[in-house]
Amino acid sequence: MTDTGEFRCGYVAIVGRPNVGKSTLLNHILGQKLAITSRKPQTTRHNMLGIKTEGNVQAIYVDTPGLHKQNDKALNRYMNKNAAAALKDVDVVIFVVDRTRWTEEDQMVLERVQFVRGPVLVAVNKADRLDDKTEMLPHLEWLAQQLPNAEIVPISALQGKNLDLLEKLVAERLPEGEHFFPEDQITDRSSRFLAAELVREKIMRQLGAELPYQITVEIEEFKQEGRILHIHALILVEREGQKKIIIGEKGERIKRIGQEARKDMEVLFDSKVMLNLWVKVKGGWSDDERALHSLGYRES
């Protein structure tokens, strides 16, 4: 990232359709795993800040849920509202799109980004997967017509390709000003929130096609005792059948979810972790505004 001489600080929204690589991009920019990722659309449900301070520049990235067409449940409406809100108050927007694939949901995001007044960068993800780079040219030209004032940058979020250029372009567009956060702070989210998200990521990765979307995770205990961090997590589902799927035969699946989540937690929290998981049925939580609010789904 460029050292521009004066202090710069501002908010950068990372927007795009579900599953286009927004969270992977954030993790690679920060140099550590903060946002959860899986191949499933709608893995990210909350706006989360990832803060990167380098020299005089502090970029505060807002990882947003993917804007999607499905709007039938309170949870979906919450996610769309949060993603759209992030566009209003930021200094720079990074619009993440796929190399040549364009969907109705990409179009939906584009129509919002076209109204953004500030600087827009279009990050064309997975560019490394095309053997013949000229295949991308018609798509890049079309994007340039749709967003004539935007800078277009082909990247690979997963391989970390061209991210230094993307960060340099972000830094140059941030307003001058004092930093909002201490330089060692990397997120606005609590450790409890990050622990819950890691458990949810492992569930999403384990369950594949069987995944019940009506899953959330609540941390009931988060306590450091000596060198061990004790974490009790409650996995909430909507139906008894979903509970059985998560527990798996003879408890094998929940055991695997716990082992994988614990490994990531020990790296993130730099501590030995004792993790206990329970599964509980709470019917209709994903379409109940009050239940969502009590589970930490608040508009940001």
Known binding-site residue numbers? 16-23, 63-67, 125-128
Task: State residue 192 phi and psi, 5-degree precision.
Answer: -60, -45
Which residue reads 């929290």 in tokens?
A: 269
Pairwise CA distance, residues 83 & 57, whole Å: 25
What angle do helix axes 22-30 and 163-173 make, rounded to 10 degrees? 80
State CA 19 to chain mean position distance: 10
Q: What is the 3-state secondary structure (H, E, C) of the chain?
A: CCCCCCCEEEEEEEECCCCCCHHHHHHHHHCCCCCCCCCCCCCCCCCEEEEEEECCEEEEEEECCCCCCCCCCHHHHHHHHHHHHHCCCCCEEEEEEECCCCCHHHHHHHHHHCCCCCCEEEEEECHHHCCCHHHHHHHHHHHHHHCCCCEEEECECCCCECHHHHHHHHHHHCCECCCCCCCCCCECCCHHHHHHHHHHHHHHHHHHHHCCCCCEEEEEEEEEECCEEEEEEEEEECCHHHHHHHHCHHHHHHHHHHHHHHHHHHHHHCCEEEEEEEEEECCCHHHCHHHHHHCCCCCC
CA angle 63, 133, 104 (to 5 degrees): 45
Which residue positions form the known binding site for GTP? 16-23, 63-67, 125-128
